[in-house]
Amino acid sequence: MLPSQTFRPATPCAFEPALLRARRLFESDDLEDTRERISRVMQPHGLQPIARAHGGRAHMDYLRVGGIGIGTIAFGEAMRVDVEHVEDYHLLMFCLRGQADTLVGGQALQTRGLQGLACAPGERFLAALSADAEQLVLRLDRRMLEAHAGRPIRFDTAFDLRRPALQAWLQQLHLLLNAEPMLAAVHAHPLVALEMERLLVQLLLAGQPWQEVPAAPVLRTGQGGRACVRRAEAYMREYADEPLRMADIAGAAGVPVRTLQEAFQQARDCSPMQYLRALRLDVAHRRLREPQAHATVATVALDCGFTHLGRFAQAYAQRFGEAPSATLRGRG
């Protein structure tokens, strides 16, 4: 059973996602059309108007940043939502306006203002939303999240945006959804999108309590471990200038993420992502030595996945003994 559906005034949410508003996916007065449109982005689910349906106007705004989907959903009338089991993603939800009584994995939560929820893959999600409710939802692909965390995890269900540890994540999300140049760079450069994905996930992992989900034992590194390192290295060399996640590299190597991480540590004394970073510095060095017309240090750095120019210049100088601008001037 859902908790009481007697809604009380809620504290407004922390921000207005202005740039998300410009990415409206649909508006509809038809309940079946609304259900079908949302299902294309999220998954099949049940919708049932609370009390008598009066045909409220629904809408959804949506964008993706790598393996993270961010959207707003409003139904324009009080609505009951029933997701039998969340598919292969983690769902984060809180209310920009209005409120909801929810049941997540058997736990009853009141979702209003700065109090939201996290629903793990496989859990049932039920919500009774007030007529004025507008949800902000984040869809985090399970494999993407596991690649960044290095293991299968589940977040604590209660998601309280008042927690001091979550302020950095909330501020970064606010900046992404309100700074047009940043969002434009994310859409223009796949590697920048990957870095933004990584930043949002790491800030979330640092701010929201979570626990590891038991997984299959990690294989110990031996001859097979060295072979998977060689396969991963070959894959990274071939695709160094493309957006890669740990899951992509591990998949190409034919082993789980944790196995590859352990194998690299034993064989190379570094992580796969540290190895990839070195390869990308090599790509940047080559492009600065043989620049295309109108190339700049900033454009080369962004194309190679380096979003912080100061750290790029420092790492570049440590590896090649000169500033990237000196390489460009000398070979341009």
Domain ranges of the chain: 18-207, 216-269, 270-332
Residue 47 corresponds to which tokens in the numbers above?
A: 């919708």
Enter the CATH code of domain 18-207. 2.60.120.10
Question: Which ranges of the chain does DSSP label H, i.e. alpha helix?
Answer: 18-21, 31-41, 142-149, 167-176, 180-188, 190-207, 223-238, 246-253, 257-268, 272-289, 297-303, 309-320, 324-331
Bridge partners, 112 (sequence order): 99, 115
What confidence score (pLDDT) does residue 215 get? 56
What confidence score (pLDDT) does residue 4 get? 46
Report the candidate in 197, 188, 198, 184 with the shortest Cα–Cα distance to residue 303.
188
Bridge partners, 48 (sequence order): 80
What confidence score (pLDDT) does residue 151 get? 87
Enter the CATH code of domain 270-332. 1.10.10.60
Q: One digit per residue, pLDDT tens: the chain, 332 residues?
A: 454 454 444 445 567 899 999 999 999 999 999 999 999 899 889 999 997 666 689 999 999 999 999 999 999 999 999 998 898 899 999 999 999 999 998 899 999 988 999 999 889 999 999 999 999 999 999 989 998 998 899 999 999 999 999 999 999 999 999 999 999 999 999 889 999 999 999 999 999 999 998 754 444 545 567 889 999 999 998 888 788 888 889 889 988 888 888 889 888 888 898 899 899 999 999 999 988 878 899 999 888 888 778 888 988 999 999 999 999 988 54
